[in-house]
Structure 1
């Protein structure tokens, strides 16, 4: 009993420390954003006269409306296609298990080892040769390919656990493979699909490297990618830069707060089924 109490107390202390380490940078950004524009705040000092207008100024200066639209278009191009292809491939690897599925699955596993930084140079020249530089397609198409290994492994982890009796009963009733996939297994895979959709949305919205390397126009980047241009314009104005950073962070933070239970379930599902 004493050991259990000590373990519980230690766990709570570690969680509190982790929470403080996580929250303090956001508090620092928020407090700094409320200082007068052009000043250099020191520490976490609360300003005598909070400048709430800094957020409106940052919104206008960074053209947040255009960035929101650009990010939404990129997400709309990446997430549905990644979900469709990942679900179909995951079904093939996890349930149909066609000839050679082990080798194909191994190739996708190896794809998880490719870091974005390691392929950015050849990817740049390939996108340039395709004539897609400085377009949103330069972000959408590579992200679909780079997200595919994780999407396939995630959905395979779901389909591989589905009982064979469900498919056998559907085939006895005359269902084809396509009908089996569309009408039986996809509806049962909604929890895994929704979890994967949340993860893909967060990763796409926060994509930074591809946006700044492959797209020169900040208005065609993701919001995270546009932060580089905003920092170059307002790098000496610390309060305005912090306000812009919080505005860029707000959409993903809102999505996380709304779907936090689903997000945690997604991580747990991946750790258990992986």
Structure 2
């Protein structure tokens, strides 16, 4: 193989992933624009988004995720308390751990952990469901009946996650702060009343809006990536399993990248 052929081969290996990413990003943008259009004017086009579908997706994406979100947020609250007390004790300032918790939980840890959990649950669920419908020809059957698959599948899931994820983040905040208060009371002897007074004195509406803003972005990413991975499934059951795995990894990577962008910008 000549030097020019080697260079072309390397450029092809580098360029294909970039082209695939650009193509997938364009596909996601097209699906998102169509879903927003149907949400805003679907009833005029004879393609209304049914409330019962939204409620069903809220139950599967939000209510069913409550136990694991509460458990993981509670664990994060205790871990942050342990690490904070241990680090601040070096400077004799362990009593200031409440201020660190107030600044880190609502802005960073609660939305990030909740987003990752929902990505693992709902992202894989959406990919599996849509991929199965794609392989079984159900999406084509919807088109034949004059029903938009985006109206039937994408729009309800998007609305459900936009509604459920901020609520889950709020519950994660309460769970993490509560378990942290138990540990701090046991180790430092700071009464719950004093603990919550410090928390409320530091946490602002801006901090809460910051966390809820992240939740909204994460919800859009999870819904669109999960569904679009399912829409691109072809072949057999093995391809569906690979798409589901790829969906979870892509959702988590997108959430971490978006969180990093929030940190850099805000």
TM-score exceeds 0.5: no
TM bin, normalised by shorter chain, reads 0.3 to 0.5
* Alignment TM-score, normalising by the size of structure 2: 0.40
* Alignment TM-score, normalising by the size of structure 1: 0.39
